[in-house]
Homo-oligomer: A and B are copies of this chain.
Amino acid sequence: MVMVAHSTRELAALTPQDIRRAIRAGQWRGLTAGLAAGFAQANLVIVPRALAYDFLLFCHRNPKPCPLLEVLDAGDPEPRDVAPGADIRTDIPRYRIYRQGLLVDEVDNITAYWRDDLVSFLLGCSFTFEHPLREAGIGIRHIDLGVNVPMFITNRPCKVAGVFHGPMVVSMRPIPYEQVVRAVQITSRFPAVHGAPVHVGEPLTLGIGDVQQPDFGDAVPVAAGEVPVFWACGVTPQAVVMQVKPELAITHAPGHMFITDRRDNELAVL
C-alpha cells in the first residue's frame, strides 16, 4: 500500500506538476484548497460522447455558472491546454462515479471506468477569484470560519440546451458595503471562473427566502454593515447533468479539484 506521506504544507510549495505526480502516486488524497497557490483549480465533469454536444452547448449558453476552461477530445485523458502531460484519470485525489444520476462509487482513480467515448470538461472554480479578493483585503467568511461556502438553488432558470435544463445555483459571500464595488471589479476580471456577481443585496430577488438556510454547504453569518453577494456556482452543471440520469457520469469529489498549470492571472481578461 502506498503511504500518504505528504502534508498540505509540504505540498503547498510544490509546482502543479509535482503535486499532480504525488496525487497520481497515491501520496495525497486530501482536499486541494491551499495547494499550488496562484494556480487555477478546476471542476471536472465527464459524460459520454452522446451527451457531450448538448452539455457543451449548455455551458456555452450559461457561461457564468459553467465557465469552460478546457474540453478534452473523446477518449483523451490529457488536458493538453491547461495541463499538458497530466492524466485526468489519475491526477485528482478523489472522484465520484454516478450511474443513472446516482452516486455508486468514490475512488482515487478512474482507470477502471475509462472508455474511449468519454468526454472530460474542466470548468473554472471560484478559488481563482477568492485569492485576489483576499489580497485586496476583502475577507472570505467561509474560509475564515473553515467551513464550506453556502450555496443556494435560485429561481433563475439556466438557458436550456438539448436535454439539459435546471435552475442556476449560486454561492454567497457576505461583503462589507464599502468593499462591494471593489469585489465586483476584481471578480469581473475573471469570467473564466464565474466572473462578476449575479446579484448584490436582496436574496429574495433570486428566490432565496433565508440566507441562513443554504441548499448546499454551510451557513455563514452576515454581520451588520455587510451585504450578501451572490456568484454563479459550479454546482450548477453537476446538478444539471445528474438530472438527466446519464448511464455514466464522473466528477471530482467536492473540494478535491484538478490543479492546472494556468496561473490565476492568466485567466484574467484585463
Chain A interface residues (CB < 8 Å from chain B): 52-53, 56-57, 60-61, 68, 71, 73, 81, 159, 162, 188-189, 191, 195, 269-270
Contacts and interface: CB of A to CB of B under 8 A. Distances in A.
Given A269-B188, A269-B191, A57 B81 contact: no
Contacts of A60: 56, 60, 68, 71
Q: Give 9 nearest A-B pairs by CB, closest first.
A: A53-B53, A269-B269, A56-B56, A188-B270, A57-B71, A191-B269, A60-B71, A60-B68, A270-B270
Nearest to A159: B81
The count of identical subunits is 2
Contacts of A270: 188-189, 269-270
Mostly, the A contact residues are mixed
A81 to B, nearest CB: 7
B61 A81 contact: yes
Nearest to A188: B270
Nearest to A70: B61
A213 to B, nearest CB: 33
Nearest to A80: B159
A121 to B, nearest CB: 10
18 contacts: A52-B53, A53-B53, A53-B56, A56-B56, A56-B57, A57-B71, A60-B60, A60-B71, A61-B71, A61-B81, A81-B159, A188-B269, A189-B270, A191-B191, A191-B269, A269-B269, A269-B270, A270-B270
